[in-house]
Structure 1
Amino acid sequence: MPPQTAGDTTTHPGLEELRAEAMEWGRKPRALGSFYVTEHMVRAMRAYGWTIIVGALGQPVLYLLGLAVGLAALIDAPIVVGDQEVPYLVFVAPALLMTSAVAVASEEFTYPVMAGFKWRRYFYGFNASPLSSGQIANGVVAGAGARMGLTVALYFVFIVIFFAWLQPDATRPGTAWLAIFIALLGGLSFGVPLMAYAASIEDDKGQFALVQRFIFMPMFLFSGTFYPLATLPLWLQWIGWISPLWHATELGRLVTYGQPMAPLMIVVHVVYLLALAIGGLVVGRRLFERRLAK
């Protein structure tokens, strides 16, 4: 075949096929797309990195010293659950550990999601690349999970070093470290459905403030955080039953100091948390796809 000249418009027989194949691969999402979005979300947290560190270190100090230790000084009687008695601080520490993850989730799955769609619109930049909308949603979840993991791990270390579940005369199970992963699951079970809700909002009209006041705070107060859920009147106990915080807290008490629990209830707690997290992700991915297609 003679060489092409500058004005020659003929093409190599296989060039069009190669070009079409390259275009097709360009449209396909990258294999590590979710990782790239996660990396961006984590790097963006550097803008408020000191807030994250101070919050992760200061929150356990404020909660445990102010609420748990201070309130425990007024409560001489141990907490009785079934046939087991535990000191008040031992009872409340796992609940505060779970609360720390849920509190981070309430931050990372609200305004940052709104920023990605409306204020800074970086989700649309991601979507203009080979990244898929599902990978963007996955990356948001993983990025928030990274911050939750850091917060919960520091919280756990603080409790172990300074309080150690204050039961020197009792036999503690060697599974306390599992509370870190339970807290992470609890945070995701609350945060991922919240991400789906945030993805459905076109304008911020105070919806997230309402979530904090009328969902997070009642859940924090009435999910057996500071006292057994059974001590509440029946018309308030339902808040705990539907609250991911209560389900995570019950599992946390199981692995930290061995709270008695029927095997069926362990399954119920785990399945409920997984259902919220997975169901929220499925809905969230669809909402991301619908929103980014506009």
Structure 2
Amino acid sequence: MLHPWQARLLVVESMWTWYRRNWRATVVSTVLTPVFFLVAMGFGLGSQIQPSGLTGGQSYAVYLMPAMLAAAAVQNAAGESTFPILSGFKWSRVYWGMTATPITPAQVATGQLLWIFFRLAFSGAVFAIVGTVLGVVTGLGIILSLVFAVLAGMAFAAPLVAFAATVEGEGTAFSPVFRFIVLPMTLLAGTFFPVTELPAVVRPLAWITPLWHGTELTRAAAFWDLEFWPVVGHMAYLLVLTGIGGALAVRNFRRRLGV
């Protein structure tokens, strides 16, 4: 009989075994794309934007860096929580192989979420190091920003894993997620400009996204502008999303794997 955490770590080990042989295929999407965005928007467009109250008196590249950390985590979470999950059920069918052992569907689901957590933490750490080299990291607050970014990513990943576990087709159901959720969220949830600049009718749509909460937290941490109750509120929202998503993921894995 496996200990529950031993079973989850075996799931993580299986993901790592695949990843260490195929990591090159993920470099562009998980690391280089956010870096290109940071350089293009922070130094390209940012060269035309003067420090102001909207940027907290910081250069635009410095203002953008912590938000891009959160945005990259959410985007990577979307990639890790869609087709890889469908593949585990339908194409590679590794989940069926796992549950043929003493590992339960619930442990497969939580192990998969744990793997996504490690992936987001690693890619975020690499991005933070690149930002430091580029000179857009203002201090050690970036470490706390990384924690908040990963939390925002998991708040998006957990419900998406639950949804992906119900997809039966070839993955076309994921297209609306990327087109109508991930892309608008990246553009309008405070990454590139404050949400207060949006029309009043649109702002509530930004407020309900995990990215807005993540962006508020990462910027506050990066600039050491942490206020207790706002931080608690943002973290509580993200933790609730993660918890609900994780519970739904466990339920849907159990249903699909027949246990």
Report the TM-score range of the alignment, normalised by the length of the smaller protein: over 0.9
Give me the whole-angstrom Cα distance separating, in 1, the residues matched to 2:34 and 2:168.
Answer: 35
Tell me how large the CA RMSD over aligned residues is: 1.9
Structure 2 length-normalised TM: 0.93
Task: List gaps (5 residues or longer) in structure 1.
Answer: 1-24, 167-171
Residue 67 of structure 2: aligned partner: 95
Deviation at 1:58, TM superposition (A): 1.7
Deviation at 1:47, TM superposition (A): 4.7
The residue type paired with residue 85 of structure 1 is G
The answer on whether the counterparts of 1:133 and 1:289 sit within 8 Å (CA) in structure 2 is: yes
Residue 32 of structure 2: aligned partner: 58
Cα distance per residue 1:230-258 (max 9 Å; x no partner): 11111111221011011011000111013
1:257 aligns with 2:223: yes
Residue 97 of structure 2: aligned partner: 125
The residue type paired with residue 120 of structure 2 is M
The answer on whether the counterparts of 1:29 and 1:131 sit within 8 Å (CA) in structure 2 is: no
Give me the whole-angstrom Cα distance separating, in 1, the residues matched to 2:92 and 2:168.
Answer: 14
1:293 aligns with 2:224: no
The answer on whether the counterparts of 1:60 and 1:158 sit within 8 Å (CA) in structure 2 is: no
Deviation at 1:29, TM superposition (A): 6.3
Larger gyration radius, structure 1 or structure 2 = 1
Deviation at 1:205, TM superposition (A): 5.2
Paired residue for 1:240, among 192, 206, 209? 206
Deviation at 1:177, TM superposition (A): 1.1
Paired residue for 2:8, among 34, 51, 58? 34
The answer on whether the counterparts of 2:42 and 2:62 sit within 8 Å (CA) in structure 1 is: no
Could you say which structure has the higher helix fraction? 2
The residue type paired with residue 76 of structure 1 is Q
Deviation at 1:180, TM superposition (A): 1.3
Residue 70 of structure 1: aligned partner: 44
Paired residue for 2:127, among 129, 150, 155? 155
- Which deviates more, 261-270 or 68-77? 261-270
- Structure 1 residues 30, 193: CA separation in 2 closer, same or farther (over 3 Å shift)? closer
Give me the whole-angstrom Cα distance separating, in 1, the residues matched to 2:164 and 2:50.
Answer: 44
**Match runs of 1:202-281 below 5 Å:** 202-204=168-170, 206-259=172-225, 262-281=227-246
Residue 45 of structure 1: aligned partner: 19
**Deviant stretches of 4+, over 3 Å:** 28-31, 53-57
**Match runs of 1:18-33 below 5 Å:** 25=1, 32-33=6-7
Residue 107 of structure 2: aligned partner: 135
The percentage of aligned residue pairs carrying the same residue is 32
The alignment covers a number of residue pairs equal to 259
Task: List gaps (5 residues or longer) in structure 2.
Answer: none
Structure 1 length-normalised TM: 0.82
Give me the whole-angstrom Cα distance separating, in 1, the residues matched to 2:107 and 2:171.
Answer: 28
Residue 196 of structure 1: aligned partner: 162
